[in-house]
């Protein structure tokens, strides 16, 4: 059984964090909510339900939640033609695959969004599996997504590493007892990622690829050497 490299997609492999910020801003405005975009960005990486709790407060009237979330999805779809993978994202996945990792995309995106993002990533030859919104009940920072990705990969928590870009990724991984390697490309600072418990922090996936030999992702065999 190969060790598993579990990858967040938005903000980690694809440059989508600010498109999501804009889409949430416009969706909220349709329903009379005008929080600062910086506050919205600070919640990117959470699932929609928890993002609305963070931005609007837990005591709000929740009757609009489903409609706001649907509006966000429709608005984000406008950006599909403009989605792009970060430089070296595909190369990193292929190099990890060559070294023996099982690659699983750990996404809570809708099936339609995930299909568009995988098209922009253009690295299906290196991807063994992927999660979507259908695989989770509770969204990040709850650990459900990481548990689902582990199930897809067939790995135990101690046989996996999670790669993400937000404190919510790091917290979700920790909740599933999986170590997390973080990147700064989603717009969160190194201090917040390390405070959340990130094992390593790199500027982006390109830097992670360049430093792979000194990273926890260098050698998958050390994660599976104890399996009987």
- Strand 179-183's sheet: what is its strand order? 129-130, 102-105, 4-7, 160-164, 179-183, 200-202
Contact 222, 179 (CB under 8 A): no
Nearest to 8 by CA among 136, 164, 122: 164
Contact 106, 6 (CB under 8 A): yes
pLDDT digits (tens, 9 = 90+) for 148-207: 999 999 999 999 999 999 999 999 999 999 999 999 999 999 999 999 999 999 999 999
Look at residue 219 in the predicted model and tell me its pLDDT: 96
* Confidence band for 84, pLDDT divided at 50, 70 and 90: very high
Cα maximum dimension of the chain:
57
Q: d(Cα 8, Cα 12) in Å, to the nearest integer?
A: 6
**Residue 78: other Cβ atoms inside 10 A:** 12
Q: Please, what are the domains in the chain?
A: 4-16+83-224 (3.40.50.1000), 17-81 (1.10.150.240)
pTM: 0.95
Q: What is the mean pLDDT of the chain?
A: 95
């Amino acid at each position: 059984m190969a060790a598993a490299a579990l990858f967040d997609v938005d903000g980690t492999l694809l440059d989508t964090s600010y498109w999501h910020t804009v889409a949430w801003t416009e969706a909220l405005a349709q329903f009379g909510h005008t929080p600062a975009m910086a506050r919205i960005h600070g919640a990117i990486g959470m699932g929609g339900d928890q993002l609305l709790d963070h931005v609007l407060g837990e005591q709000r009237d929740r009757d609009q939640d489903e409609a706001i979330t649907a509006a966000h999805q429709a608005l984000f779809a406008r950006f599909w033609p403009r989605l792009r993978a970060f430089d070296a994202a595909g190369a990193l996945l292929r190099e990890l695959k060559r070294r023996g990792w099982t690659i699983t995309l750990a996404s809570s995106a809708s099936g339609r969004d995930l299909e568009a993002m995988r098209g922009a990533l253009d690295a299906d030859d290196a991807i063994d599996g992927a999660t979507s919104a259908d695989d989770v009940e509770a969204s990040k920072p709850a650990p459900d997504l990481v548990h689902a990705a582990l199930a897809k990969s067939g790995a135990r928590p101690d046989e996996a590493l999670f790669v993400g870009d937000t404190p919510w990724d790091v917290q979700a991984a920790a909740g599933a007892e999986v170590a997390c390697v973080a990147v700064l490309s989603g717009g969160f600072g190194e201090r917040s990622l390390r405070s959340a418990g990130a094992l390593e922090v790199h500027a982006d996936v390109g830097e992670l690829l360049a430093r792979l030999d000194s990273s926890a992702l260098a050698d998958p065999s050390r994660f599976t050497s104890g399996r009987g």
